[in-house]
Chain A
């Protein structure tokens, strides 16, 4: 089942920088965990609806009202870097 299990690709998708050694360790552990997790595939579930919410709630509506929200300066104060009232991040597009 894990024939194309590519740990480096998974780490890239998850946006987690890991060393080669760390990747090898996680790869080994994930194989073991997946073996156990894959036991669910032994259970026949044809025609069984998946459960995403345990109570039989369908839609949760409430009035669309203007209410107080978080204070902008307080929120920005917790950010690693800000500029002119915005979150600042390193460049997003590769300019090379």
Chain B
């Protein structure tokens, strides 16, 4: 690797400490990469050159003064999904209703990254308020998949995934409500992690569905993902749902292998409706895990068949309540009206895009008098059944696995007018959001069209150490070294 932008975080961190290059040089390499790729990919909504430069200079100063500074992300260029608020840096969640909003505070993830000396390069594109699976629902235009710009990068954290895939960020952060980190990771050949619910504070994450939302990393390697997660994880006084106990040691067992571990293949997530090439790549990965000494077992989670339906009641119901705050009073867009009620309705009608309106209406209906128990209540009981299925499975196996996404990247526009087809993109990822357990995607190969295929590893709540251990073996076994093309003659400008 001759270009600094292609280093892993762990290698870049070592290079910074060896003074082989400076944090400013690392940032410049990252910005040069963005200059090459942004015109056709549009991974970023905002690049904060001045803020990033200042952070990189501060990192260099810290390394000069205290060569022993061991903060793992010191001087590392990272990207944040634009639904994570950043003090003084425009934060829109890809919505017109927040156009131009500069938050007066940092969310906890951003604050911990700054304390950790990370260099926040900018804010990445997403489906508006994280509602979508393709990053096409952005009010500021779609992000394209670096492996084939005619296809989507997945979503909703498609911007962070695309940036990490091409090196315009060394690591990224997204949020995962129904698969919004793992599915774009799968479609862009990156590693994406949804931690245990509560492991990362949601303070300053613009809320979509609060009982499901979780912040997590996108990275090029499993080891980088573990490091990115370690820096932001942990209890926070500003999020009452954040986890107070001891944190899992994410990178503690990356080299431990899978000898003797029992790995359960979820039948309901690995058969009907999954592309044959995805199935084949999953099987090949299982064979390699078996060769490495794991015991492969077939597992059934019968209630996951209802997970998608339950999710499409729970998530819209919670979003309809959460998005009530966008009312034209305290921040963001205001459209005029004679009364406050008229102003609010006009503001929301003008400021929200179609998918957001669809979900707010659905959630409003599902929560309206007389329907609450039949819809939201029933969906929350189904959630209990999904959790019970997982708990039963984990009595017999250590981790569960499946494909991450039923297909590889699909063409831009292909599912844009069919909400149900789009929702099906998350069929393999949603069960872990309902159960609250951790899950991650690791790239394991390319399909015949040269598009990446992801493999999902799921673990019991707070079982991140075990999950990363298995993921590291998947990574070694798959030996996925392909890289997305940069802007060259092989990439046709849009």
Q: How many residues of B contact A (CB 8 A)?
A: 75
Q: Which residues of A contact B384 (CB under 8 A)?
A: 45, 48-51
> Are B361 and A7 in contact (CB-based, < 8 A)?
yes
A79 in contact (CB, < 8 A)? yes
**A interface SS class:** loop
**Within 8 Å CB of B306, what residues of A?**
39-40, 42-43
Residues of A within 8 A of B419 (CB): 29, 32-33
Q: Are A45 and B330 in contact (CB under 8 A)?
A: no
Give every chain B residue within 8 A of A74 (Cβ-Cβ).
Answer: 104
- In this assembly, does B72 line the interface, its C-beta being within 8 Å of a C-beta of chain A? no
Give A60 to B313 CA distance when docked, in angstroms: 27
Residue A24 lies at the interface, judged by CB distance under 8 Å to chain B: no
How many residues of A sit at the interface, in one of the four size bands? 35 or more
Q: Is the CB of B387 within 8 A of A45?
A: no
Closest to A18 in B: B349
Q: Is the CB of B105 within 8 A of A38?
A: no
Whether B310 and A40, one on each chain, are in contact in the complex, defined by CB atoms closer than 8 angstroms, is yes
How distant is the Cα of A49 from the Cα of B346 in the complex, in angstroms?
Answer: 40
Contact residue among A17, A26, A51, A87 (Cβ-Cβ distance under 8 Å from B380): A51
- Chain B contacts for A36, CB-based, 8 A: 308-309, 312, 420, 423
Contact A16 B345 (CB under 8 A): yes
A3 and B382 alpha carbons, distance in the complex (Å): 24
* Chain A residue, CB-CB nearest to B377: A50
Is A53 in contact with B368, judged by CB distance below 8 angstroms? no
Task: Write 19 A-B pairs (CB below 8 A) sorted by A numbering.
Answer: A10-B365, A12-B345, A16-B345, A16-B349, A17-B346, A33-B419, A36-B423, A43-B378, A43-B385, A48-B384, A50-B377, A50-B381, A51-B381, A53-B211, A54-B435, A55-B436, A79-B331, A80-B334, A87-B330
Query: Which residues of A does B touch, CB under 8 Å?
Result: 5, 7, 10-18, 26, 29-30, 32-34, 36-43, 45, 48-55, 57, 60, 62, 70-71, 74-75, 77-81, 87, 89-92, 94
Ordered nearest first, which 5 A-B pairs have the shortest CB separation? A54-B436, A50-B380, A80-B334, A17-B349, A45-B381
